[in-house]
């Protein structure tokens, strides 16, 4: 019985217009009637997620929202959104990553832990300028030689294939979590990096524990590298039909974006309906008067 559903956003829950299909919203509402927990689990910052969560009634059900690949977790409470978990890089980690990036001529865009600023090692970087505007986060330059004015939650790093390959070896040795950027399509020249141990699965496990929900009772929908660990772990894993092969290979099911997700959610609802009917039948039988024959 599915009691919690996790959704990636880009390439998964969202349609081509950046919203959630009406049929999917109705399916989610049907699932909520049976107390199924709905978790948005994304690499986006909260400023680009809150409206989406509200569109699926997250504010009515005190939803958790996982952002920046698990580095920040938010929760609705009485229509107010509050940050409940923050797992940024340490000062030493930030400095060593920026130093290595400088050696390899890599460009960095970093989300400040305050949620109000962003940082880059190259002020003229197209990716940094674009991400700053996209997230509406003022951009400042940071070269890594001094202590940062604030810690960073997630970094996006770009470079040549050769230098990114070398950088991956450094990240692996230092136990940082990294995946290739997956939207609008997988790009091995761009990495999303978070602190050691921090990823979407870390957040999913934490929330499941909070609700006392078992691994087998969780479903997850995703399409990117940053979804792999979650797809491997949950009881019911769904890859999008258009996802790369490596994503589909670790998932139990494949569904079409949009209606495929809707149909899967409704099947979970049917299981709850059947269980409810079975329970009511048992209670009715127990309450029935004994025959005096």
Segment 117-136, tens digit of pLDDT = 999 999 888 989 999 999 99
pLDDT of residue 51: 98
Residue 269: is its pLDDT beyond 70? yes
> What pLDDT does 182 receive?
73
Tell me: pLDDT of 278 over 70: no
Least confident piece of the model among 132-146, 174-188, 193-207, 267-281: 267-281
Long-range contacts of 180-188 (CB under 8 A, 24+ apart): 180/225, 181/156, 182/10, 182/11, 182/223, 182/224, 182/225, 182/226, 183/10, 183/11, 183/43, 183/224, 184/10, 184/11, 186/224, 186/225, 186/244, 188/161, 188/164
Pick the CATH number of 91-194 from 3.90.245.10, 1.25.40.340, 3.40.50.170, 3.30.1240.10: 3.30.1240.10
Average pLDDT over residues 220-237: 98
* Amino acid 22: pLDDT: 98
Helix (H, G, I), strand (E, B) or coil at 232: helix
How far is Cα 52 from Cα 40, in angstroms, rounded to an integer? 9
pLDDT tens figures, 45-63: 999 999 999 999 999 999 9
CATH for 4-86+198-281 is 3.40.50.1000
Return the pLDDT at 48: 96
What span, in angstroms and rounded, lies between the C-alpha atoms of 224 and 46? 19
Residues of the chain with CATH 3.30.1240.10: 91-194
Over the stretch 4-17, which tens digit does the pLDDT of each residue have? 999 999 999 999 99
Integer angstrom CA distances of residue 187 from 172, 271, 291: 19, 39, 71
Residue by residue, DSSP assigns 53-111 as HHHTTGGGTT-EEEEGGGTEEEEEETTEEEEEEE-PPPHHHHHHHHHHHHHTT-EEEEE
Mean pLDDT value of segment 85-101:
98
Q: What six digits make up the tokens of 128?
A: 């940094």
Residue 141, CB-side half-sphere exposure with 13 Å CA sphere: 6
- The percent of residues in the chain predicted with pLDDT above 70, rounded, is 93
* Per-residue model confidence as pLDDT tens digits over 138-173: 999 999 999 999 999 999 999 999 999 999 999 999
Show the tokens assigned to 189. 């020249």
The pLDDT of residue 8 is 98
* CATH 3.40.50.1000 location in the chain: 4-86+198-281
Check residue 66 and give its pLDDT.
99
Residue 44 pLDDT greater than 90, yes or no: yes
Mean pLDDT of the chain: 94
Give the model's pLDDT for residue 185.
66
């Amino acid at each position: 019985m599915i009691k919690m559903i996790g959704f990636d956003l880009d390439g998964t829950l969202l349609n081509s217009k950046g919203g959630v299909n009406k049929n999917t919203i109705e399916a989610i509402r049907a699932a909520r009637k049976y107390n199924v927990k709905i978790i948005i689990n994304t690499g986006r910052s909260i400023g680009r997620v809150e409206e989406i969560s509200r569109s699926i009634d997250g504010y009515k059900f005190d939803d958790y929202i996982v952002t920046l690949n698990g580095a920040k977790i938010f929760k609705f409470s009485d229509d107010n959104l509050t940050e409940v978990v923050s797992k940024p890089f340490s000062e030493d980690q930030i400095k060593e990553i920026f130093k290595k990036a400088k050696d390899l001529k890599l460009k960095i865009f970093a989300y400040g832990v305050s949620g109000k600023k962003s940082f880059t090692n190259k002020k003229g970087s197209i990716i940094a300028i674009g991400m700053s505007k996209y997230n509406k986060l003022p951009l400042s330059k940071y070269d890594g030689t001094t202590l940062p004015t604030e810690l960073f939650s997630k970094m996006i790093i770009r470079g040549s294939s050769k230098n990114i390959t070398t950088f991956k070896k450094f990240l692996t040795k230092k136990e940082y979590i990294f995946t290739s950027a997956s939207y609008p399509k997988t790009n091995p020249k761009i990495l999303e990096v978070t602190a050691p141990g921090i990823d979407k699965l870390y957040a999913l496990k934490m929330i499941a524990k909070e609700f006392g929900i078992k691994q087998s009772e969780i479903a997850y929908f995703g399409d990117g590298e940053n979804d792999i660990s979650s797809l491997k772990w949950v009881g019911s894993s769904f890859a999008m039909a258009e996802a790369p092969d490596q994503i589909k290979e670790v998932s139990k099911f494949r569904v079409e974006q949009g209606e495929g997700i809707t149909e899967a959610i409704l099947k979970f609802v049917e299981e709850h309906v059947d269980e409810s009917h079975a329970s009511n039948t048992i209670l009715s039988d127990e309450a029935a008067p004994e025959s005096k024959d």
